[in-house]
A and B are shown apart, each in its own frame.
Chain A
Amino acid sequence: MLALDDQSSSLSPLKRTPLYALHLGRGGKMVAFAGYDMPVQYGAGVLREHLHTRAAAGLFDVSHMGQIALRPKSGKVEDAALALERLVPQDILGVAPGRQRYAQFTNEAGGILDDLMVANFGSHLFLVVNAACKAEDEAHLRTNLQDACAIEPLQNRALIALQGPKAESVLAKLCPDAPAMRFMDAGPRHVDGIDCFVSRSGYTGEDGFEISVPAQQAEALANALLENSEVLPIGLGARDSLRLEAGLCLYGHDIDTTTTPVEGALEWSIQKSRRQGGARAGGFAGADKILSQLANGAPRHRVGLRPEGRAPVREGAPLFADSASSEQVGAVTSGGFGPSINAPVAMGYLPRLHGALDTLVFAELRGQRLPLRVSPMPFVPNSYKR
């Protein structure tokens, strides 16, 4: 038997993004993802879409993600930043106007409720959260920040990512301000005459931009970008293989409520000011556990894994210390084939004892033990314009 995707099995009607008609018109193969009907690939297929993004530029519809404005009731953006610092271990006060930072909402146990981007737009903060978590995130913000902020989900906006080495020159034709932006700059910009929010960021490891655009102008803008012969539309399939090669976490898979930011190898995202001895140390959910892990280490960490053979080792595969032992030491949380390195890649959790670089561990797959080597991430060097 050959199990093929069954697209008729969804239980509730799927939501559509403002680019739904564009996906159909360009041959998108639609699948259910986080409650939305989304293109998993177009005619070119996942492999070509992946390689095209790394060679030229790819356009991704990420309108399913949540966009939220956090407006300070005092009128001072610093008050919104300080309020948000109750929910994330990051230094938000230190995000300068026009800049953006990666963050995580944490719970009392130090686990991750969602990961997100936080931009300072001068008068307010602009958040981008995961599609599958956005309702819970909004409720979480309302429960905890209502005293200091008005929480405004921006439902009538699409989000378009333009990624790859040609993204800058492509976007420059419609947005002359784009080339002057550097990695993680973010703010309002005119794109093809449309009032947009643009950040120089993405989820592929490539240079690129994310463009928040009013829903009614989204299709026109996407088509204007796709008119450039350097740009191909890219589906969720290649989005996943690109982020995996870039060593980036997929929420709900590589990080979730049972993993702390330290276990998730996201220590780099927690600034000094929020750590022990910092100006605003702690004061966020799960601070005791996270600060203690930052100081003393965590029992396990997310690591990069390179299978020694050709077989992809996918999510859920149990990991063992050797080819015979029966004691499972960890598991793969994301894995597949990396088209740019033409080899399988994976990430997963391992205890400190087995997680050092170059350690050989074994995954159990179809009754066999396959060797994987603990490897540095990203698997493909990133090319951010810092």
Chain B
Amino acid sequence: MTTLFTSDHEWLRIDGDVATIGITDYAQSQLGDVVFVELPKVGRSLKKAEAAAVVESVKAASDVCAPISGEVTEVNDAITAEPALVNSDAAGKAWFFKLKIADRNELGGLMDEAAYNKHTA
């Protein structure tokens, strides 16, 4: 399994033809206390960069966009029930949704962990 990152603070864990997507620990620390999460519907077909989910802190709402194109195969209801999980375990239990990868070429533009760490340093 490989983990890749976007420049706007999302991570993708690639397992075969499925990508699990979440926001990074850096992103949650910048957002502050998460109080609401809205996830896409299973079966929805997302294009790269399309708004897919919403994460809201006390202060503001932010879109989580699809980092690559694909169909939503699963969403994490645990974070809609307990939004604070996004703050406590952004890189783990607080994944947002899974996508069936439509075009593996889109993975080429993403960063590995070392490059992402440099990006946020």
Contacts and interface: CB of A to CB of B under 8 A. Distances in A.
A11 interface: no
A371 interface: no
Contacts of A50: 58
A341 to B, nearest CB: 12
Interface string B47-87: 00101001111111111110000000000000000000000
Interface stretch (B27-35, B99-107, B110-118): B27-35
A283 B3 CA distance: 69
A317 to B, nearest CB: 11
Interface residues of A, number: 25
Contacts of B32: 41, 45-47, 237
B30 A314 contact: no
B23 interface: yes
A228 B70 CA distance: 54
Between A40, A45, A50, the greatest number of chain B beta carbons within 10 A of the residue's beta carbon is seen for A45
Given A1-B49, A2-B23, A237-B59, A311 B33 contact: no
A46 B63 contact: no
B58 A2 contact: no
A312 B65 contact: no
Interface string B5-35: 0101110000000000001000100111101
A50 B32 CA distance: 13
A336 B58 contact: yes
Contact of A1 (B35, B54, B57, B63): B63
Given A50-B58, A366-B54, A2 B36 contact: no
Main SS at interface, chain B = strand
Contacts of A2: 8-10, 23, 27, 55, 62-65
A4 B57 contact: no
A344 B57 CA distance: 11
A337 B49 contact: no
A50 B59 CA distance: 12
A279 interface: no
Main SS at interface, chain A = mixed
Contacts, number: 72
A246 to B, nearest CB: 15
Interface string A320-355: 000000000000000011010000100000000000
A310 interface: yes
Interface in A333-386: 336-337, 339, 344, 366
Given A311-B38, A336-B59, A4 B30 contact: yes
B87 to A, nearest CB: 9
B27 A337 contact: no
Nearest to A368: B38
A41 B60 CA distance: 13
B33 A47 contact: yes
Contacts of A48: 33
B63 A3 contact: yes
Contacts of A314: 60-61
Contact of B58 (A1, A4, A5, A46): A46
Contacts of B62: 2-4
Interface in A302-320: 310-312, 314
A3 B8 contact: yes
A41 B27 CA distance: 16
B63 A312 contact: no
Given A2-B55, A41-B32, A238-B58, 14 more contacts: A1-B49, A1-B63, A2-B64, A2-B65, A46-B33, A311-B38, A312-B35, A312-B36, A314-B60, A314-B61, A336-B58, A337-B56, A344-B36, A366-B51
5 closest residue pairs by CB, A with B:
A47-B33, A1-B65, A46-B58, A337-B35, A1-B8
19 contacts: A1-B64, A2-B23, A2-B62, A2-B65, A3-B8, A46-B58, A47-B58, A48-B33, A237-B32, A238-B58, A311-B36, A311-B54, A311-B56, A312-B36, A312-B56, A314-B60, A336-B58, A337-B35, A344-B36
Interface of A: 1-5, 40-41, 45-48, 50, 237-238, 240-241, 310-312, 314, 336-337, 339, 344, 366
